[in-house]
Amino acid sequence: MKILITGGAGFIGSAVVRYLIKSTHCEVLNVDKLTYAGNLDSLADVSSSEKYRFEQIDICDKPSLSNIIVDYSPDLIMHLAAESHVDKSIDSPDVFIEANIVGTFNILEVSRTYWGSLKHSKKDNFRLHHISTDEVFGDLATTDDLFTEETAYEPSSPYSASKASSDHLVRAWYRTYNLPTIITNCSNNYGPYHFPEKLIPHIILNALKGRPLPVYGDGSQVRDWLYVEDHAKALYEVITRGHVGETYNIGGNNEKKNIEVVESICNLLDELAPSKPGNIKSYNELITFVEDRPGHDQRYAIDTTKIKNELGWEPDVNFEEGLRETVKWYLDNKAWWERVLSGDYALDRLGLDD
């Protein structure tokens, strides 16, 4: 089976590629523009596989996208390419509109043309899987609510609005053109190879350098945390066994306040990296509360009942285990993140959440 993946050099995309190459019989074509967050180093373990191929293509380049899909003739397409950082979307929303809305439109159109050209079982079995986020739902009103597949959309940031728009486009192409699509909405991912702009790697690397650990507001914002390798397995289950036209929510069942996440990282570093920078006795001393983000959602939490009942998927990794593995990975893979940070990035420019 041949799968084309957009955004396969990104954090989640690379986890999916690694899983497919190592744990399935699938062949994979990775289509990625290689923006600042795309990193082929994250695919070093599988890049030499005969089952793997890479093409540097921007999904906003419709002719090139169409040509590569026709050339590769995939059985399935998984669309993960997206701009995903909330703070950057507030500063530069146009980039998110272009990549997440126009890019998804291009994927839908070239997939529709390609699917229309297929014959017999290949056409019957084709699927386009659009990977999205729980941020499209906005935030939850109470501590007991959960996002379900029927939750109304109420995005709060340019990022989440652009992803909500892309979800609506996918549903419209299914309804209008019968294009066989599936959507998944996931909670906050974490794990190895995470780009340092996101909360967990940002805190780890700032702490190791003895820099302030910025926390928005009072840190009471709640997120559900999903280990990225669990997510990769879930996405494979959905693309191979999910029902056309359906949406599946994917979560880790690990709700944590942001301040709890930061404190847990500090405690792990106290244990695993006892040689601390400066004169601090504990990494917790570096925690610094900063002005809250505009329109910051207070709580996300996902109901995973549907994917569990229909596909039998549940997360394997709890947060404590996954966070320990993540911290250890960053301690053991200094060359990877130093290479990332050797570009135009500075830790004090990177984001604090999501």
Query: Cα–Cα–Cα angle for 228, 135, 105, nearest 5°?
Result: 90
Helix (H, G, I), strand (E, B) or coil at 229: helix
Report phi then psi at 177, rounded to 5.
Answer: -110, 0
Q: What is the DSSP-derived secondary structure letter of residue 15?
A: H
Residue 338 annotated as catalytic:
no
Continuous H helices in the chain:
11-23, 62-72, 86-91, 93-96, 103-117, 120-125, 158-177, 199-208, 228-241, 258-272, 305-311, 319-332, 334-341
Long-range pairs for 277-280: beta carbons < 8 A, 24 or more residues apart = 277/208, 277/209, 277/210, 278/210, 280/210
> How many Å apart are CA 19 and CA 23, to the nearest integer?
5
Residue among 27, 32, 58, 135 flagged as catalytic: 135
Query: Cα–Cα–Cα angle for 194, 213, 343, nearest 5°?
Result: 45
Residue 72 annotated as catalytic:
no
Query: Strands 247-250 and 287-290, how do they pair?
Result: unpaired
Residue 135 annotated as catalytic:
yes
Residue among 72, 114, 159, 283 flagged as catalytic: 159
Residue among 75, 134, 167, 354 flagged as catalytic: 134
Long-range pairs for 141-145: beta carbons < 8 A, 24 or more residues apart = 143/299, 145/301
> How many Å apart are CA 118 and CA 127, to the nearest integer?
12
Residue type, 187: S
| CB burial of residue 269 (10 Å; 0-12, 13-18, 19+) | buried
* Catalytic (active-site) positions: 134-135, 159
